[in-house]
Structure formats: C-alpha cells, structure tokens
Amino acid sequence: SQQGEEDPQALSIQEGENATMNCSYKTSINNLQWYRQNSGRGLVHLILIRSNEREKHSGRLRVTLDTSKKSSSLLITASRAADTASYFCATDEGTYKYIFGTGTRLKVLA
Amino acid sequence: DAGITQSPRHKVTETGTPVTLRCHQTENHRYMYWYRQDPGHGLRLIHYSYGVKDTDKGEVSDGYSVSRSKTEDFLLTLESATSSQTSVYFCAISEGPHTEAFFGQGTRLTVV
C-alpha cells in the first residue's frame, strides 16, 4: 500500500499564485522528501526534511512537516508556467527504501 | 544529471518472453532501486539493493527478480512478461539510506 498520499490529486492555478500540496503518511519516518516530475521525464529531487525539522526553505519552495499529524505540505510561491509538473512526496518508513505517493498534478496557467 | 543510465529506453516484447532491464550508475552509490510507474498508482517499489549481492523486495515484487553483481549495475528481470507488466520503469540510486535519490530517465516497456 502507498505510504504517502498527496492531496489534491490535481491543481490548476494562475501564474504568480501560490500552490500548496499536501502529503499524509502512515508510519514513523526518518525523513520526507519531495520530488518533481516533468511529463515523460524522471523524477528530480526538490527538498528533504528530516523528522526533527518542522520547516525548510529552498528558493521558492517551503516545506513543513508535522510528525504528530503524519503530514507534510509543499508550498510553491509565485508560481511560473515552468512549475507545471507532477509533485510526489516520498518517505522512508524508517528503513532505507523510499515509498512514493500517487502525486499531485500541478498546472500553472500563463 | 547524476550518472544513471537505463537501457533500453523503449522495448516492446511478447507475452511470455523474458526481459531484462539494466540500470548503470557511475556515482558509486550503495543503494539502488527499481520502481514502476502506472497511471493512478504513482511510483511503486519493485526491488531494491543496499549493496553488492544484497537485495530485497518492495511493494510489487511478484513476477520480477533482480541481481546486483557489482556496484554499478542493477538488473531487473521479468521472468515471463505479462500484459500487466506494461509500464514505465525507473531506476534510482542514493548514496545513503536516508539521502536524496537520483532517478534515471525511465524505460517504457510494452508487453503485447
């Protein structure tokens, strides 16, 4: 079964708006990661947040982690058309295998 | 891009034939993974390796086997391909057990 589940499944916004997507997971983790996948390509790592961290920033990306609720959110600020992609969270289930969710498809309209 | 090469990139095969996909890395990373990606299912882990000759099953390992005889190569074999194994297969590598993973470009496999 999937460890991480992203919400919403699909999101459509205007360029310049912020995009927020959420991830829920089931078991304890060492870290949670977010990846981006452009159509027809492999996944690209965006950011890793460890279980003892609550928030992390990287450029226009902001990730939060709430281990008590077993959830994380990814915020993309001032979105651009180039941000159009699918976004996945991945957790390690406390082991060394990464389990991915089903992803959020983000479309940024110019 | 991290040094990961998947081969072949595309393959069409017939039901019942064996198929081997190759993942080759030049990063000397210890951990290697095989995933399949299907609409509505996201990425599902098939098998992974935590060292040479050290492998373990993932979520959807039935019908698949793997081998890793050297650090740089991780092979995924479909013993007898079925139509349900039509998918896009991704290889990934990571340096440590809790570090970022780097993905290959994928192999699109069609079983007819």
pLDDT band per the 50, 70, 90 thresholds, residue A94: low
Q: Taking 60 as the threshold, does the pLDDT of residue A17 lie above it?
A: yes
All residues at 6 or more sequence positions from B90 whose CB lies less than 8 Å from its CB, including other chains: A42, A43, B6, B34, B35, B36, B37, B43, B103, B104, B106, B107
Q: Does A41 touch chain B (CB under 8 A)?
A: yes
pLDDT in tens, B16-64: 999 999 999 999 999 999 999 998 788 999 999 999 999 999 989 999 9
Dist. CA B103–CA B33, nearest whole Å:
9
Q: Does A46 touch chain B (CB under 8 A)?
A: no
Exposed / middle / buried, residue B22 (Cβ in 10 Å: 0-12, 13-18, 19+): middle
Is the Cβ–Cβ distance between B31 and B50 less than 8 Å? yes
Is the Cβ–Cβ distance between B58 and B48 less than 8 Å? yes
What pLDDT shows up at residue A2? 45
Mean per-residue pLDDT over chain A, rounded: 91
- Does A27 or B1 have the greater pLDDT score? A27
Name which of B55, B59, B47, B60 is nearest B91 in CA terms: B47
Q: Taking 90 as the threshold, does the pLDDT of residue A97 lie above it?
A: no
Note whether A100 contacts B98, CB cutoff 8 Å: no
Instruction: Write out chain A residues lying below 8 Å of B94, CB-based.
Output: 98
Torsion, Cα of B38, B19, B102, B99 (10° steps): 90
pLDDT in tens, B64-77: 999 999 999 999 99
3-state secondary structure of A82: helix
Instruction: Write out chain B residues lying below 8 Å of A96, CB-based.
Output: 31, 48, 50, 97-98
Dist. CA B84–CA A91, nearest whole Å:
26
Whole-number percent of chain A with pLDDT over 70: 95
What pLDDT shows up at residue A93? 74
What pLDDT shows up at residue A1? 40
Which of A100, A104, A105 is best to mutate for the B interface (most B CBs within 10 A)? A100
